[in-house]
Amino acid sequence: MANLFEKMKQWNKEVSEKIEKREEKRRNSVSYYMDKTKQEMKDAERMVEKQRELKSLFYKEYKEMEVYVEKRRHQAEIAKEAGETKLANFALEEVAQYEEQLEATKAHYDQASEQLEKLELRMHEMRLKWKNLKTQHLAEMAEKNATETSEKMDKVIHDMSWGSVSDYHEAQKQRDLAEEAEKKADMSKELSQSFDDLMDELEKKTKKSKEIIKDKAQNFTTMVDEIIEREKQNFKKPEKASMEDQLNELEKEAAKEKPKEEKEVLIPELEKKEEENETDK
């Protein structure tokens, strides 16, 4: 199974490499260059449009400020005629400040207008070059298409040079059968190889599993034998008894072997008299 995973991983890697090569080939193609150039032209046109908007904003700001300056100048004259010196001075100070700002805004507007004019000229030049490049690309495509079409026609004419329609049809049929047989052979070979690899991997895993089971069974048998032997040792009597046990056993045997010397006395007085006679003698 691990071998299958490795093959799948290798296959994914090969597919990724093929896709990367195809992308690299596409990046190196003229069509990719044309598409990229067209996208860059669109970006440049958006930036020129932004410059045009900035010019309009400067113009709007300049006109609004110009109207405001004229308004303050008129208000200063009215305040001066009315004797409101403080208001007239305030209005004149604002007029002076806004006139400076008006000059700066006009300078920015003129600069933006000049920059926009240059950018529009460059954009016009860029569009002309793009048209020339596109025309050249179309000419190359037409030439390539004409060459491929001519080669295709040569092949068709060569294939039809069999003498009759039946011969041409039979030859085409044989070529189709040969191509189909070749594809089937390649597919069968690939499937057979994959099946053999899977069976080899399965056989290796089965053999390894049997060895593991055998080792575990042997270890279990050894463990059981050790437990049985240990239990036998625990229940087995000691071969040599202790000194105390030997003395007790000896005492018991001596008590069993001692003769009984006591006699039964039927008439105690007579027995006593016999003993006295024996003493007198």
Residue 70 domain-assigned (yes or no): yes
Window from 35-39, 50-54, 248-252 with minimum mean pLDDT: 248-252
Sign of CA dihedral 189, 193, 199, 203: positive
Angle at 70 between CA 67 and CA 76, to 5 degrees: 140
The pLDDT score that the predictor gives to residue 202 is: 73
CA distance 60 to 276: 172
Residue 235 domain-assigned (yes or no): no
Mean local confidence (pLDDT), 130-139: 87
The pLDDT score that the predictor gives to residue 107 is: 92
What does pTM read for this prediction?
0.44
- pLDDT tier, 111 (very low <50, low <70, confident <90, very high otherwise): very high
The pLDDT score that the predictor gives to residue 108 is: 92
The pLDDT score that the predictor gives to residue 156 is: 76
The pLDDT score that the predictor gives to residue 128 is: 92
Report whether pLDDT(212) > 70. yes
Residue 62 near residue 105 (C-beta atoms within 8 A):
yes
Residue 47 near residue 116 (C-beta atoms within 8 A):
no
Higher pLDDT, 245 or 50: 50
Residue 111 domain-assigned (yes or no): yes
The pLDDT score that the predictor gives to residue 73 is: 86
Higher pLDDT, 167 or 236: 167
CA distance 53 to 126: 21
The structural domain count of the chain equals 2
Report whether pLDDT(261) > 60. no
Residue 72 domain-assigned (yes or no): yes
Could you list the residue range(s) of the whole structural domain that residue 63 is in?
25-136
Sign of CA dihedral 269, 274, 278, 281: positive
Say whether both 199 and 114 belong to one domain.
no
